Amino acid sequence: MTTPDLPPTDQAPDVPPVTPGGGKNRRALLRRVVRIVFLLVALGFGAWFVARQWDEVRAGFARISLPMTAASLAAVVAALLGAMFTWRSLLADLGSPLPVRPAAKVFFVGQLGKYIPGSLWPVLAQMEMGKDLGVPRSRSAAAFFLMMPVQLASGLLVTLATLGWDRYGWILLAVPVLLVLLEPKVINRLIGLVLRRLKREPLERPLTRRGMLTALAWALSGWIAYGVHLYFVVGSDLLFCVGAFALSWCLGILTFVVPAGAGVREVAMVAVLAPILDQGSAIAVALVSRMVIVAGDVICAGVAGITAKRTGV
């Protein structure tokens, strides 16, 4: 009687490998797929909507001159500088003051990550580049995430001041919450809680009221510059343009699922511009505004990177 051949005892049976964190990886992949699908659907509907009214949109483009577009781009660069100084002032108040050139490189180059699906690419880039300059990763992350309530609160307040309380009074419901989130004592406790949950060291220096007010002042200057940028494209009513851009940007930033609020900001801008522009012209203005801002991001990142390289930063 013969026995069947058995495998060597040191040979493991064919068992599918177990990948640590496989469930988390699948969830992250699913979230990325959802974001990409949402973006493609939004862009598809946007293209269809523009195509339906192409004659009106083309007429709107025809009314936007090249010199005004160039002036709009200059205003966007000024607005982006305001955002950079907002971030830089928060970072300095937390204990990491950076000279202007290296700060510009970290901020502007890192900001290009917002065009990649997902919301963490800019902060990851800024954390790594800041680390090379001696900025702790936790401090870079704190400054990045503090930018959102600062810009959101200042943007909504600008909207109320420029577009009127009667039509946009509902914004008042969000203001108390945002003002609480801008209180340094509250912010410092939240940051400390998050760092403890992540088992990281606490921040060496807490955020101060002076640092927050400085950041808010820079943020307000940025909103004015963004309004000027829209004014050059629209061609009239500067005060209204400041509020229209602030409101559309705030609605866009609340949509984390698409990169840089793509599509959401444009839809909001078309709706907000309805009192002063026909729909075709408003669509043209929104599209030109998006292209000018993208160009501004690229220009600022390129200039900051080249300047920093020449100075050995």
Residue-wise pLDDT for 273-305, tens only, equals 988 888 888 888 888 888 888 899 999 999 998
Query: Tokens representing 18?
Result: 């177990």
CA-CA distance, 288 to 240, in Å (whole number)? 18
Section 167-180 average pLDDT: 73
Work out the percent of the chain whose per-residue pLDDT is above 70. 73
Q: Where are the alpha helices (H) located in 94-208, listed in sequence order?
A: 100-111, 121-132, 137-163, 165-168, 175-181, 184-197
What does the angle CA 111 – CA 298 – CA 88 come to, to the nearest 5 degrees?
Answer: 40
Work out the percent of the chain whose per-residue pLDDT is above 90. 26
First to last CA, the chain: 80
- pLDDT band, very low/low/confident/very high, at 51 (cuts 50, 70, 90): low
User: Mean pLDDT: which of 1-10, 52-61, 242-251 is highest?
Assistant: 242-251
CA-CA distance, 34 to 119, in Å (whole number)? 13
CA-CA distance, 216 to 86, in Å (whole number)? 7
CA-CA distance, 307 to 248, in Å (whole number)? 32
Query: In the chain, what are the domain boundaries?
Result: 75-310
| Three-state SS annotation for 273-305 | CCCCCCHHHHHHHHHHHHHHHHHHHHHHHHHHH
**DSSP 8-class letter at 15:** -
pLDDT value of residue 50: 52
What does the angle CA 86 – CA 80 – CA 130 come to, to the nearest 5 degrees?
Answer: 60
pLDDT at 66 over 80: yes
Q: pLDDT, tens digit, for every residue of 74-98? A: 999 999 999 999 999 999 999 899 9
**DSSP 8-class letter at 9:** T
pLDDT averaged over every residue in the chain: 79
Q: What is the dihedral of CA 42, 283, 112, 84, to 10 degrees?
A: -130
For the chain, percent helix, then strand, then coil, each to nearest 5? 75, 0, 25
